[in-house]
A and B are shown apart, each in its own frame.
Chain A
Amino acid sequence: MNIPNVEKQSMKLQTKGHKRHRRRFSFLEGWLYLLPSLFLFTAFLFYPMVRTVYLSLFYTDTQGKPMAFAGMENFTALLSSSSFLLSVKSTFLFVLYTVPVGVLLALGLALLANQKLAGIGFFRTIFSSTMGMSVAASSVIWMFIYNPSIGFANRLLTWFGLPEMQFLLDPSTALIAVAVATIWMNTGFTFLILLGGLQNIDSQLYESAKIAGVSTIYSLRKITLPMLSPTLFFVITVSMINSFQTFGQIDILTKGGPIDSTNVIVYSIYKDAFINYNIGSASAQAVILFLCVFLVTIIQFKLGERKVHYQ
C-alpha cells in the first residue's frame, strides 16, 4: 500500500535535485560567458592600474623594478617640478582648445547635415571621413600643411597678406597648431554621434512646432538642444577623455617641443617611462592622469544625472 507513495516522493526529490543542479549550472554558465572578458580586464586593466599605483610609491631602477619605498616622494617631486607643472598646464590648455571648439564645430556640421536635402548622404560621408583617418596619417598631412616654407598654412597667410609663421617651431603657437589638427581629426567621430542623436529626435516634434509656427532658432533652443543633451553630454565626456589621452599627434608633430610647450601628460609619461627610464615618476604621472579622467567621468555622470533629459 505504501509503495506508490514512496515512489512519488522519491520522484519529487529527483525533480527537485535536478532543478537545483540546473540552477547551479546556470549560475556557472553566466560566469563562463563573462570569464574571457573578466580575465583580460584583470590582466591588462585592473592589475596594471593597481601596479601603477604601487610603482608610483617606489623608487625604481631602469627596468621598472621597485627599489625602495618612496611614499609620496614621487608625487611631491612632480608637484615641485616646473616641467611637470608645465605639462599639466599644456594638457589643460589642450583640452580647453580642443573640446569646446571641436564639439561646437561638429554640432554645427551635424545640424547642417540633418536637413532633408538631395545628396545629403554625400556630405555626411565627407564630414565623418576623418573618423577613418589614423592619427599617424593625419599628423603627417598636418605636418606638411604646417611646413614653414612649402606648407599650405603659410601660403594661406601670405594670400591674406599676413606674415608667415613657424607654427610648430614657435612655443607660443605649437600647442594651438596641434589643437587645430586634433579638432579636425576628431570631428568625424563627434559629428557622427551627434548626427545620430539628432536623427533620434522624433520628427513629429518638429512638425508640431512648425504648426505652432515657432521660429527656427526657438525650436533649436527649446527642442533640439534639450533633446540632444544626452548625446551632447556623452560627446563632451568622450572628447575630454580623448583630449587628456592625446599622444600620436604630439609624437609626430612636435615631440613635446618646442621647449616642452606641447609636452602633454601622456607624452610626458611616455618619455619618462620609455626614454628616461624613470618608471616611478612615470607611474605617479599615470596615477594623476587616471584621477583626472576619473574626476571628469564622475562630474559628467553626476551633472548628467541632474541636468540631462532622458526620455
Chain B
Amino acid sequence: MQQLKALQLNQIRKSYQQGAEVLKGIDVAIQPGEFFVLVGPSGCGKSTLLRLLAGLEDVSSGEIYIGNEFANRLKPSERELSMVFQNYALFPHMTVEQNIMFGLHVKKIAKEEQRKRCEEAAEMLGLIPYLKRKPKELSGGQRQRVALARAIVSHDPICLMDEPLSNLDAKLRAKMRSEIRQLQRKLGITMIYVTHDQTEAMTMADRMMILNQGVIQQIGKPLDIYNHPQNAFVASFIGAPPMNMIPANVADSVLHITENWSMDVDIDWQGDVIAGVRPEHIQQAKSGTPSFTAEVVNVEMLGTETLISFEIQSGLQWTAKWQGQHQLNPGDIVSLFIDQNQMVFFDEKEKVNIEYQSLGAVQ
C-alpha cells in the first residue's frame, strides 16, 4: 500500500526549562514494518520520546531520521505519520465519519477517495453502523476503534500509539491487543507503541525498548529480554509475577544464598552478587535433588497454575509458580529446587547481568 519506512534516532536528548533531563541520549534504529514497543514505568520518558518523534516537541539535541530524511525540523504533518492518543483525542462535536476523515483534505485527497478510505477503515474496524454517531454515544472500545480508524485512513507509513489501551477494561484490552497487532500486520506499517504495561509489550512487540529514567535499559526481542535481562531493573520489570531476587555471595563456585542454603554454581565470579530466579523456575523438589525448605506464607490458586509465596529470609518473600493445582496451606513446609542454569546473576554494584559483563557488552 505504501513504501515502508525506517526510523533512526541518534543521541536524542530532551530537557525542559525547569531543568531535569527527561531523555539522556537515546540511540535506536527501528526497522521498516516493525512493531516496536517503548515500555517503562511512568515518568521514564517514553511518552516524551514519542512526542519528539511526532514533532509535537523539539529535541534538545540529537538527530531524528525518518526514512532516510533528516526530520528534526519537519513539522508534525510533514513527517508522514499518524498518531493515536491515550484519550483518543476524538472531536466530540463531530460524527465518527467526520472524525475519521478529519484533515484528509490537507493531503489533497479527492472527496470520493476520502469517502472510500473512510469506509474501508470503518469496515476493517467494524464501525460501519456507527458512522453517523457522535463519540459520546459510543462505548470505550468503539471510541478506541475510531481513533485507530483515523490513524489508518491517512495511509501514512508510520503509526505512533501512546498508551492507547490504558482506558479500557482488562478483557477489552486483551482483545484490542490482538486486533491492533493484526491490523499492523495487514497494513504493513511501522508501528511505535508506548505502554507501561509489560504484558502488552511482551505480547505485541517484534522488538521492544525498556526505558527507565530517560536511559535505555535494553533493546531486543521480548523473549530474549525475558530470558537474558541486561540488568536487575529489566529483570524485575519484565515478567509477572516479577523475578525473585536476593543478595548472595559466590565463593569458589559455591553460591551462598542464606545461612542454611547454598548450591554449586558454574560461574566465573567471586564475591557479592544479586541472584535472581523466575517464579516458574522454582520447582517442587523431587527426592534426590539438592533442595531447600521454606514455610508457605500465602497460596493463590489460579486453576491452571498455583502461586506460592514463601519467606526466604526475614522480610523477603519469594513467589513460585507451579503448573496445575496444588493443595497447600499457609504454614506448610515445602521442599524446593532450583536448577542453577535457570538462575541469573547481577553484580552487586551496577546491577548488571554478569553474563553480559563477561561478554564485554556492558552498556
Contact = CB atoms under 8 A, between A and B. Distances in A.
Contacts of A214: 77, 102-103, 105-106
Contacts of B75: 210, 213
Contacts, number: 67
Nearest to B57: A207
A65 interface: no
B103 A309 contact: no
Interface string B307-333: 000000000000000000000000000
Given A204-B85, A211-B103, A212-B103, 20 more contacts: A202-B89, A204-B86, A204-B87, A204-B89, A205-B89, A207-B76, A207-B83, A208-B83, A210-B56, A210-B76, A210-B77, A211-B77, A211-B82, A212-B154, A213-B78, A213-B106, A222-B102, A226-B91, A227-B92, A309-B92
Interface of B: 54-56, 75-78, 81-83, 85-87, 89, 91-93, 102-107, 136, 150, 154
Contacts of B86: 204
Contacts of A309: 92-93
B103 A209 contact: yes
Residue of A202, A207, A226 with most chain B CB atoms under a 10 A cut-off? A207
Nearest to A209: B103
Contacts of B136: 311
A38 interface: no
Contacts of A213: 75-78, 103, 106-107
B83 A211 contact: yes
B92 A207 contact: no
Interface of A: 202, 204-205, 207-215, 222-223, 226-227, 229, 309, 311
Contact of B56 (A207, A215, A223): A207
The list of the 6 closest CB pairs from A to B, nearest first, reads A213-B77, A212-B103, A309-B93, A204-B89, A208-B89, A226-B93
Contacts of A222: 91, 102
A208 B85 contact: yes
Contacts of A212: 77, 102-104, 106, 154
B102 A311 contact: no
Nearest to B98: A222
A211 B54 contact: yes
B89 A207 contact: yes
A233 to B, nearest CB: 14
Contacts of B150: 208
